[in-house]
Amino acid sequence: MCGIIGIASNKPVSINIINSLKKLEYRGYDSAGLATLNQNEINEKKCSGRVEELEKILFKNPSDGNLGIGHVRWATHGIPNQINAHPHSSEIVSVVHNGIIENSDELKKNLELKGSKFKSQTDTEVITLLITDELKKNNPVKSVFNTLKQLKGSFALGIIFKSYQNIIIGARRGSPLAVGYSKDENYLGSDSYALKSMTNKISYLDDGDLCVLSKDKIDFYNNEEKKINKKVYTLSDDENISDKGDYKNFMSKEIFEQPITAKNCINEYIDSLKKDINIYNFPVKPEDMNKIVLIGCGTAFHSCLIAKYWFEELTNIEVEIDIASEFRYRKLKFNSKNLYIFVSQSGETADTAAALDICKKNNMKTCSIVNAVESTIARNSDWVLPIHAGPEIGVASTKAFLGQMIVLFILSLKLAKIRKDIDLPSYDKHIKNLKVLPIAIEKCLKTENKVQSMAKEFLDAKGSMFLGRGLSYPIALEGALKLKELSYLHAEGYPAGEMKHGPLALIEEGLPVIVIAPKDKYFEKTLSNMQEVIARGGKILFISDHKKELIDENIRFSIKVPSLDKLLSPILLTVPIQLLAYHVAILKNCDIDKPRNLAKSVTVE
């Protein structure tokens, strides 16, 4: 993986391929390349490092041609270098690939027995050589279909052919792939974002689909090799917002957009006149609902953890949570009265999409909470609840996480009302608190200067620990994840009550320990756990909504967030831990928007 672009046009395409690859940089990558067709030759250029390096190569040695493919790679098979960068070309075919070919070793051995020579360490080159072999006896479409039948794993492919100068073939299994339409020009892309500067008309390939693009035509085939039609989506104008404005990077912009995200999300779901939540058409009748199963990966899993507390607190429904990569391999006990909720920022997360597919094959009712309503997960779900966060470019999720939490809270509240698990005055009070949430988030952002001072404490630390209880425990996990993602410092999140069962062994003089302690029923217990840390020399950074300043000479820094509905405290406590990770990374001169080794849309297992 990580990003694909293809353009079939009536004019040179290399500049537009480069510009589109730059739009895919937000996913995270380690190398880049492109291949164009010109004068009956495949012209391949690639490099390790950033797209800017590829652009320099093209400046010195341009690639002409009205048809081409490009790629930014996030290494899976083979180290990041020029040889392993995509495209992978033979004399007659060139391929870019997102995903993983699980049986590549077996296929490689068979190809080598036939005399094929491999240049790279990648699994992708297997695809190139298989198609090359098939082209000896078949046309491009048949050659690709025959190749796909031999592949195990996930893929999105872009393929060009030396002897067929006017077509690009795209194919998909597991990894997302979109096509875009324009006059005298058509496009292939691993997501719609890469295509937005060129078109707002998009179709999406489903698993098993293949497409054939020329400059004035797109044909689609299903996995039975029959021609099919695809729905054309029109992207909304607000999805074209990708300017950093006056911010240094996208992540800082997205952190400070969170009051707007919250306001947009709340306004979408709450009818101000009726003072009610306008969520309807549940795929499972709320009164009959047996269990809610929440499934996600990474930050999305943390939002599921928080939601478990909310559903349990507000409703009498049994709740289960699972990491998508674990869910899909467990022996599952399905129930037709369960609602399976899949949370994903991109809506393309491979493990989450695969878990959804398992549920669909077992005729379960599904709901997706996503930021991209045209995504695979959204399109395959029975019911979609968008988070309305707008484009999120920074790899480390901030405003999308906040949006996920808000939608999950609103959903739990609506279910509680329908099932009569909550009385009307309490319901009205929660809605009232939601309406003032954006203002409270704005106040949280004003802690930035103090958080900036806290960040200096991490520069010489060999690690850190985040502690919380109840609703604050998932925020401790998220705080540790953000610090790891952005600053590359080791960090762990723990339930504060678990300190005595092992983690105390890690506490030593000067170790930064972030204690997340809203004034809830766990507050005094959390303070007791904090004293355990203090007694062993830990350096306390305290985050709370407690109205009184906690005076303790062992607390190095104290950050106060507004006091609101205790159930909403995770949303407010999230902001300082995002700012902390951001400012530690700034001090360490890390790449904020594109952390090393990470991708925005994780489309492999």
Annotated active-site positions, please? 2, 600
For 340, phi and psi rounded to 5 degrees? -100, 120
**What does each C-alpha distance from 42 to 4, 85, 527 come to in angstroms?**
17, 16, 66
Please report the beta strands in 450-604, taking only residues with DSSP state E, as ranges in sequence order. Answer: 464-468, 491-495, 512-516, 539-544, 555-560
Residues 6+ apart with CB under 8 A from 510: 461, 537, 538, 539
Angle at which helices 569-587 and 424-445 pack, to 10 degrees?
20
Q: Where are the alpha helices (DSSP H) in 24-72?
A: 51-60
d(CA 346, CA 392): 9
β 227-228/217-221 pair status:
antiparallel
Angle at which helices 424-445 and 258-269 pack, to 10 degrees?
160
Q: Are residues 38 and 67 in contact, defined by beta-carbon separation less than 8 angstroms?
A: no
In the block, residue with structure tokens 């399109």: 379
Report the run of H or E that residue 104 belongs to, with start and end: helix 104-113
Residues 6+ apart with CB under 8 A from 18: 34, 51, 54, 55, 58, 70
Give SS3 for 89: strand
Give SS3 for 167: strand
